[in-house]
């Protein structure tokens, strides 16, 4: 049951990285969004570059052959995949990470929460890496705590993971709002 709940939340988060405008009212995207910022799969638009095309957000996106990918969302998607793998190793195959990995997981979570306000990720690749480690930290912490044998404690950790993710999302929103507030340029995010 714990594995199913955790994997479900990771999959929900992974899907949310592809539809940021559905999850956040502040991510309203224009109808004429540049095609380099989304991919159509089976008639569904998957958004991978949802930031304002502005020089102030260059460190927030990867530019891969003229296509833009949000560094944060890319990292969260990679982290969700890694977290599901670690949780599966633990809950299905019996891998017991021990306390050291649990503490390492908490360090990853703390780094994932602090890098935005401390502005310690000036490059997109670093943003992606920190976000991937952030979600991976959830599974390392959960797998370590599960060693105690208490399902109630596991549920508390899953609740903390949800809280940490919403905290990280809010920190990102505040950061984006600050970047836009400090910018005087007109764009599709600002009312003319």
Token duo for residue 92: 């299905």
Distances (CA, A) of 88 to 2, 21, 92, 162: 11, 30, 5, 19
Q: What is the pLDDT along the chain (192 residues), one digit of tens a residue?
A: 899 999 999 999 888 887 766 665 555 666 667 777 777 888 877 777 776 777 777 787 888 888 888 888 889 999 999 999 999 999 999 888 888 999 999 999 999 999 888 877 678 899 999 999 999 999 999 999 988 778 899 999 999 999 999 999 888 888 877 877 777 777 655 543
* Residue 29 burial by Cβ neighbours in a 10 Å radius (0-12, 13-18, 19+): middle
Give the start-to-end residue ranges of the domains of the chain.
2-28+72-181
- pTM recorded for the entire structure: 0.83
Pairing of strands 38-41, 44-47: antiparallel
């Amino acid at each position: 049951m714990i594995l199913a709940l955790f994997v479900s939340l990771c999959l929900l988060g992974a899907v949310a990285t592809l539809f940021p405008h559905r999850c956040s009212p502040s991510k309203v995207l224009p109808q004429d969004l540049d095609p380099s910022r989304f991919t159509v799969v089976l008639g569904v638009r998957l958004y991978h570059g949802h930031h304002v095309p502005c020089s102030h957000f260059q460190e927030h996106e990867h530019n891969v052959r003229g296509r833009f990918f949000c560094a944060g969302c890319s990292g969260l998607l990679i982290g969700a995949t890694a977290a599901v793998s670690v949780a599966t190793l633990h809950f299905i195959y019996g891998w017991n990470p021990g306390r050291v990995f649990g503490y390492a997981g908490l360090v990853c979570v703390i780094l994932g929460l602090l890098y935005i306000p401390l502005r310690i990720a000036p490059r997109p690749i670093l943003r992606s890496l920190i976000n991937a480690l952030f979600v991976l930290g959830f599974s390392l912490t959960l797998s370590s705590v599960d060693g105690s044998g208490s399902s109630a404690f596991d549920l508390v950790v899953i609740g903390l993971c949800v809280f940490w993710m919403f905290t990280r999302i809010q920190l990102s929103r505040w950061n984006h709002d600050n970047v836009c507030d400090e910018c005087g340029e007109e764009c599709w995010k600002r009312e003319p």
